[in-house]
Structure 1
């Protein structure tokens, strides 16, 4: 069985939750690892996703610790969609549009 792995980075602008995670995850960049297997017997090359993992870096007393959590592609896409919606809502609020005070 031929396998391939691809790594990408996703960015969350706000804290977010994923099913199976006991607490909110902080905003920031997260590495995503996708594993796929080659489908045999086709006249063209095609792969099927077999697993998706999110790399979570520890904070506070867990700093320096990294976990790789199995997640579903659907849950990741939904978390990114919620984050984009929240980010857009925050950018259109009156507070976001008000001018910054000059701190002299």
Structure 2
């Protein structure tokens, strides 16, 4: 199957936590990669998300080391919604 990776950036105004990440992460901008694969057998081009990754630490961090961790996309969306609700 043919695949692609879409990159985006998300912003948290407050510290947040996600399952699978041991520590609470600071507020800031985070790069997100979404791996998608082409759906075969349909008459138009469509992709489905197969994996989501977050780049740690935040872009604004002074840390020299970084890591990329697999996360649940729905959990990321929920954390972003919760962050926006607290900011309002």
CA contact (8 A) 1:57 1:64 kept: no
As a proportion of its length, which structure holds more helix? 1
1:36-65: CA deviation from partner (whole Å, max 9, x where unpaired): 0001111001111110000012767xx211
* 1:56 and 2:56 aligned: yes
Residue number in structure 1 paired with 2:84? 84
Instruction: Kindly report the root-mean-square deviation, in angstroms, between the aligned alpha carbons of the 2 structures.
Output: 1.4
Aligned partner of 1:24 in structure 2 is 24
Identify the structure with bigger relative contact order (alpha carbons < 8 Å, sequence gap 6+): 2
- 4+ residue segments displaced more than 3 Å: none
Structure 2 unaligned residues grouped into runs of 5+: none
**Any gaps of 5 or more consecutive residues in structure 1?**
89-104
Q: 1:1-104, aligned counterparts within 5 Å?
A: 1-57=1-57, 63-88=63-88
Size of the aligned set, in residue pairs, is 86
User: Is the radius of gyration larger for structure 1 or structure 2?
Assistant: 1
TM-score by length of 2: 0.92
Greater strand fraction, Structure 1 or Structure 2 = 2
